[in-house]
Amino acid sequence: MHKSSKFNYLFNVTLSAIAVILAVTPANALPEQNISSVVKWAKTRPQLPTLRYNSEAHGYEGRKGNLYFYADVTQENGTVIKEGITVSGDSSIKFTTKNTKAVKLLQNIYNSNIANDFQKSRYVTKVGRDQFYSGQKFAYITAAVQGGSSLQIIPLNKLQEFIDSAKYCQTNQCDL
């Protein structure tokens, strides 16, 4: 009986520790995670729409009010390549590192770690309408789009690949 109560005690302590870690660690879904995690996470974010798969766009997307959110994947059940947010019809939100409303929106959707990473990111280059930034955790692509502003979050180790692709698409026809 003594071994059984010792086991139960250790089991309960372990479960409590896991519960504390999960409560303290904010849930977020970002590039390089499985799309099912991102879809589940999006359901917990009141600002985000329900995401649906769009085979033509190679990803999951949704619109809620003036906010459009998408997650590009390699295949329907694959890994997220990049995520994007576009806000239209609100000229006060421009995805720049100095726009307080845009940074606050990122904090509300993701968390303060992502908002701070974007806010402190280093400007790298501009290709066409896209401006590329390098953070500590992720890289970011911002653009002024028709009637709004957009931000893409990409893996930091893929930043140069995205820059090269944007440069290529400036002189060649690309299927976007």
| 170 or 12, higher pLDDT | 170
Write out pLDDT tens, residues 21-78. Answer: 333 344 567 888 999 999 999 999 999 999 999 988 889 999 999 999 999 998 777 8
* Sequence-separated (6 or more) residues with CB below 8 Å from residue 96: 102, 142
* Residue 143 pLDDT: 96
Residue 32, CB-side half-sphere exposure with 13 Å CA sphere: 9
Write out pLDDT tens, residues 143-176. Answer: 999 889 999 999 999 999 999 999 998 888 776 5
Q: What is the DSSP letter of 16?
A: H
Give phi and psi for 44, each to the nearest 5: -90, -5
Q: Is 29 exposed, middle or buried (0-12, 13-18, 19+ CB in 10 A)?
A: buried
Task: Specify the pTM.
Answer: 0.82
* Residue 134 pLDDT: 97
* Sequence-separated (6 or more) residues with CB below 8 Å from residue 141: 130, 131, 132, 133, 151, 152, 154, 162
Write out pLDDT tens, residues 70-119. Answer: 999 987 778 999 999 999 999 999 999 999 999 999 999 999 999 999 99
- Helix 112-119 to helix 100-109 angle, to the nearest 10 degrees? 150
For 139-147, the CB contacts below 8 A with 24+ separation are: 140/95, 142/95, 142/96, 143/95, 144/94, 145/86, 145/88, 146/88, 147/88, 147/89
* Residue 10 pLDDT: 46
Alpha carbon distance 24, 74 (integer Å): 31
* Residue 24 pLDDT: 37
